[in-house]
Structure 1
Amino acid sequence: MDSRLKALERKQKLYSLLKDQHDAEIKELMHYMSALPVVENNLVRSYLHTLLSDGLRHIEYISSIMADIEGATGSSILTKKGIAASMEGEKASRDALLKCAEMADDPETAALLKSVSVDEEHHIRILEHLSELVESAK
């Protein structure tokens, strides 16, 4: 068999294994996030936060390797179109959270949802600034 074909098959297998690991990391993150709201013990919460932080870092590393295999730059978010899409997502989240806050019967729940919507608004401002930075770098 041709050595280039073997190398291609090896890269495809590596990519497939990395994709499986990527999906597993996301599944783990979702599991840890779903556990956080019901955990009251501070030490356990701290452990879950560590697992979440490490999982995000693992996804970043794996995604970077996958992008290298694909030949992609991995920076599509840093395009004008990518940033605009992210901003739209943040705006949709903010609006949905505000609607949920209006519907919440519990004042504490409403306040929490409004607080998260303020974070989403902050994310929009960050993305606007990021967009300006990307534009000025051209």
Structure 2
Amino acid sequence: MSIPFSNTHYRIPQGFGNLLEGLTREILREQPDNIPAFAAAYFENLLEKREKTNFDPAEWGAKVDDRFYNNHAFKEQESPVKHEPGKENSQTSMKEKTALESPEEDKDMEENAAFKIQAAFRGHLAREEVKKMKSSDLEEEKTEENE
């Protein structure tokens, strides 16, 4: 970020850019009348999701940015102690647990997608009904003018 007519560049906190990108995407998608209220509701929803799923998009975005700028950040750190076969099994079981939790997130995403699709379809039906009403009103006016 920079200030016009200045050579000073400010560093945006890690993850903040991703939060704003997500908010911007949703604002452009939904086209709300009251943007500040929409932003407040968006961030509340984001906080609720973060508490339920223990997944922070800002933290994830910061890691992605860090990975882009510093590839060494995502290298696995090996401990000096050699891994025992039993410990490797526990790590794979943790991966399986997180894999089992992801369908819950998928279900939330599917529900949100279904809600948006249904809302778009209802809007479509309402627009079609308004078109029919306008066309019938125009026909009535024309018949009245002809009489």
Same fold (TM over 0.5): no
Q: TM-score, normalised by structure 1?
A: 0.30
Q: TM-score, normalised by structure 2?
A: 0.29
Which is higher, the Rg of structure 1 or of structure 2? 2
Q: Which has the higher helix share?
A: 1
